[in-house]
Structure 1
Amino acid sequence: MPSLFESQVTRPLADRLRPAKLDEVVGQGHLFGDDGPITRMIKTGRVPSVILWGPPGCGKTTLARLMADVADMAFEPLSAIFSGVADLRKVFERARGRRATGGATLLFIDEIHRFNKAQQDSFLPYVEDGTITLIGATTENPSFELNAALLSRCQVLVLKRLDDQGLEELLVRAEKEMGFELPLTSEARETLRAMADGDGRYLLNLAEELFSMPPSDDGPLGVAELARTVQKRMPIYDKGDDSHYNLISALHKSIRGSDPDAALYWFNRMLAGGEDPKFVARRLTRMAVEDIGLADPQAQQFCIGAWESYERLGSPEGELALAQAVIYLALAPKSNAGYSAYKKSLKIARETGSLMPPAHILNAPTKLMKDIGYGTGYAYDHDQEDGFSGQNYFPDGMRRQNFYEPVERGFERDLKKRVEYFDRLRQDRQQKRPKD
């Protein structure tokens, strides 16, 4: 029962609108459909240990509480930020006591990825013997942040950021709770949802700020007035977390897919999130090497030039040079033939160990080396009529390899003709060369 002082404190709107039943959860229909994992749990009445992975404000904590209610389990919440081993021991002790009297415990760990390996390992025996059912919430990719042993004992459920429809549903519920509509034009209302960036809790905090405004005779707020009234949420982007890798992957694949518009979008998403433009410049240069290669030999230099331009101009003009590099790479002919040739040749080089070059291409700076055959029989290519001897340059006894296979795109189309030309000459020389 709340105390006299607690009853006088107004609960935040987001807390008042927290779903009381599973069917009130917004934006996670993939978990609650006819064959959804949450639906199956409800039907069986059994809640297994689960990791809830999703962005902030998508309902992870609420979902854990409701799952405990459905399964008639005691709910024990902890935060990995503020809790340690001593707190865990107390929960395990209470859970053992409940189990002795036929009760069950659901232990909810918020930000579970912040626990170290030893702390994560401490859950294992209690999960295995059924003392607790563990539900962990994380904004980070569990594959990278959680122990394999813990992951193997938990089902991972992916929660999605709230879409526009889900955010609007929350606003309608908020208006019903408050008893009046938000003082916004339809365009400003749409902008408000965009400001939340998929975070339902943040949206309700913004709405609460607007509900608290005194009535105005000037009518509803437009987009400009809204922007001056509330603070836009910064994009979810941490240079050390999963979103960092997701966005650079999206940029890379958009460029590889020759889509300059999508590439520019992801490029600017990264910059808006606070990414270091020099990191982007480095990745663009890598894309030029890996995905364009010799199909456009200028792409690499274009990227290095853009990188240098950024370092000399600084922001904001320097970002334009990088944006032009993004466009150039997206529209350049693509080839990974050089990259593939490098990987294949590296593999063979490692496998063949210390094979010596053939004697005829070894230098012979001493008389002894000449006496044992170093350099004997070497054909100086410039002395040949067409500048090509066709000699073997692989180790003796090693089959000739074909690593580089240029594509029929861009400059590599010309290189392909050269490769085929030299192949023909090499075969012709081998046929004319006297047999030993």
Structure 2
Amino acid sequence: MADLFAPPPAQEPTPTAAAPENGPLAERLRPRTLDDVIGQDHLTGPDGAIGRMVAAGKLSSMILWGPPGTGKTSIARLLADAVGMRYVSISAVFSGVADLRKAFAEAESMAGLGRRTLLFVDEIHRFNRAQQDGFLPYVERGTVTLVGATTENPSFALNAALLSRAQVLILHRLDAAALGQLLARAEETIGVPLPLTPAARDALIASADGDGRFLINQAETLFDVSLAAPLDPAELSKFLMRRMAVYDKDRDGHYNLISALHKSLRGSDPQAALYYLARMLTAGEDPLYVLRRLVRFASEDIGLADPQALIQCLAAKDAYDFLGSPEGELAIVQACLYCATAPKSNAAYVAQKAAWNSARETGSLSPPSNILNAPTKLMKDIGYGAGYAYDHDAEDGFSGADYWPEGMRPQAFYRPVERGFEREVLRRLEWWDKKRQERRGDK
């Protein structure tokens, strides 16, 4: 019976099996135990979540969330081996409902024979909501222990129901020290040092941007050639294709970087703001998207503290429309720097929120009749416009009239701050408030 339901060997690889000597270097360097995993000690170490589960001999379902090339697949394979579970792997990119049904049916059969199944789902965020829901009964019954891998934020990419049944574990991008360890392992495996000067070696590590798989693939290219002398950084950049920035314009990278740009601007750090702006534009972000965010920022976080900020941002949009890339990007840089160095105030933003809330609560109140237009005789007869005080007729151009609906107390939605031009606006408001009290006899 077991032979009828057992998956073919290709679906159930042995985690500790060594890759062929002529296989890809990345496969040959895959860790054989969890102790060999580089850069994720916070998870795989004795005090980490994975380390504790392995020590207890019992795994819970989990989602491994981290950048590419940080060891998600390797960890999943090693987890199954460490606790003696059957390992089945599918990819959400290449698998469909039929593949899931087959995997679950085999897992149920094996569970009847006392064999537990670890189901590894790579790129799990690629499954739609209905497909993700399909995991729930099998995870709840313990038919499978689910280990999903994703590069996307699980809060946005996965069903809440599925997340409630799995522990989210975050893998860190590999730092320079971890990437250096990977290169050392590669050199030990190949038996020769990389043909690089120390500076070029550092440049190679920096180019990986935390991606171990990318680094090993680049190293393998270097091992496969015969060079008369070690390459320096300039020669290395010519020899290897330049790595493009990791950036999905509709996913986490997009939202993380625009958030970082916005908060750097708000924090008046022009250097950091310029860095995140460069990250987005060099990775292929639409410059008009960045400009829209700058225009929004000029109103939301600067407002009347510096009214020129909005003008600068709109001028940058016009300049970019006129010049295009790359010349027009300098205007975006100018607007970015202007916003970062401008005095900040969210008073207009706060005022908008408060006014909108008040309008929703009191939207049925009519304005006072004295400030209503009276284009017809009937409207005049019922008092529209009667007693309206024309401000320009007042000696100081200010009548001090009450413009609020009857039954509604005057509100103070807009509260300028003591920064930039809003300091002057604040003085104006204080002067008008004083005059208003004098005109109404509220001294």
TM-score with structure 1 setting the length: 0.96
Deviation at 1:301, TM superposition (A): 0.6
Task: Name the residue aligned to 2:75.
Answer: 63
- 1:386-401 to structure 2, matched below 5 A, reads 386-401=396-411
In the alignment, which of 167, 175, 185 is matched to residue 197 of structure 2?
185
The amino acid that maps onto 1:238 is: D
The amino acid that maps onto 1:251 is: L
Task: Name the residue aligned to 1:257.
Answer: 267
- Whole-Å separation in 1 of the counterparts to 2:404 and 2:165: 52
Task: Name the residue aligned to 2:317.
Answer: 307
Q: 1:58 to 1:288 in 2, by over 3 A?
A: same
In the alignment, which of 159, 165, 175 is matched to residue 163 of structure 1?
175
In the alignment, which of 219, 223, 226 is matched to residue 207 of structure 1?
219
SS class of match (2:137)? helix
- Whole-Å separation in 2 of the counterparts to 1:312 and 1:161: 40
- CA RMSD across the alignment: 1.6
In the alignment, which of 245, 250, 266 is matched to residue 240 of structure 1?
250
1:26 and 2:38 equivalent?
Answer: yes
1:10 and 2:8 equivalent?
Answer: no
Deviation at 1:8, TM superposition (A): 7.7
Task: Name the residue aligned to 1:134.
Answer: 146
Count of aligned pairs: 428
Which stretch has the larger CA shift, 371-380 or 28-37? 28-37
- Whole-Å separation in 2 of the counterparts to 1:251 and 1:7: 44
TM-score with structure 2 setting the length: 0.94
The amino acid that maps onto 1:65 is: R
- Whole-Å separation in 1 of the counterparts to 2:184 and 2:45: 23
Q: Deviations over 1:104-146 (max 9, x none)?
A: 0010100011111111111100000000010111111111111
Task: Name the residue aligned to 1:74.
Answer: 86
Q: 1:189 to 1:72 in 2, by over 3 A?
A: same
Structure 1: segments with no counterpart, 5+ residues: none
Q: Is the 8 A contact 1:196 1:232 kept in 2?
A: no
Deviation at 1:353, TM superposition (A): 2.2
- Whole-Å separation in 2 of the counterparts to 1:144 and 1:126: 22
Deviation at 1:374, TM superposition (A): 1.2
The amino acid that maps onto 2:407 is: G
Which stretch has the larger CA shift, 325-334 or 307-316? 307-316
- 1:26-425 to structure 2, matched below 5 A, reads 26-216=38-228, 219-425=229-435
SS class of match (2:90)? strand
- Whole-Å separation in 1 of the counterparts to 2:142 and 2:418: 61
Q: Is the 8 A contact 2:91 2:123 kept in 1?
A: yes
Deviation at 1:33, TM superposition (A): 4.2
SS class of match (2:42)? helix
Task: Name the residue aligned to 2:14.
Answer: none
Percent of matched pairs sharing the same residue: 62
SS class of match (1:224)? helix
Q: Deviations over 1:350-378 (max 9, x none)?
A: 11122100111111122221221111221
Q: Deviations over 1:382-434 (max 9, x none)?
A: 1111111111111101011000100000000000000111111111112169x
Deviation at 1:230, TM superposition (A): 1.1
- Whole-Å separation in 1 of the counterparts to 2:188 and 2:203: 20
Q: Is the 8 A contact 2:19 2:27 kept in 1?
A: no
- Whole-Å separation in 2 of the counterparts to 1:33 and 1:424: 67
- Whole-Å separation in 2 of the counterparts to 1:245 and 1:266: 12
Deviation at 1:35, TM superposition (A): 3.1
Q: Deviations over 1:70-123 (max 9, x none)?
A: 221101000001101111111111111111111100101000111111111111
Q: Is the 8 A contact 2:54 2:82 kept in 1?
A: yes
- Whole-Å separation in 2 of the counterparts to 1:351 and 1:415: 28
SS class of match (1:226)? helix
SS class of match (2:108)? helix
- Whole-Å separation in 1 of the counterparts to 2:338 and 2:35: 49
- Whole-Å separation in 2 of the counterparts to 1:36 and 1:184: 36
The amino acid that maps onto 1:288 is: A
The amino acid that maps onto 2:316 is: A
Which stretch has the larger CA shift, 388-397 or 30-39? 30-39
Q: Deviations over 1:323-381 (max 9, x none)?
A: 11111110000001011101100110011122100111111122221221111221111
The amino acid that maps onto 1:265 is: Y
- Whole-Å separation in 2 of the counterparts to 1:116 and 1:110: 14
SS class of match (2:441)? helix
Q: Deviations over 1:169-209 (max 9, x none)?
A: 00000001011110100110011011111110110000000
- Whole-Å separation in 2 of the counterparts to 1:29 and 1:100: 35
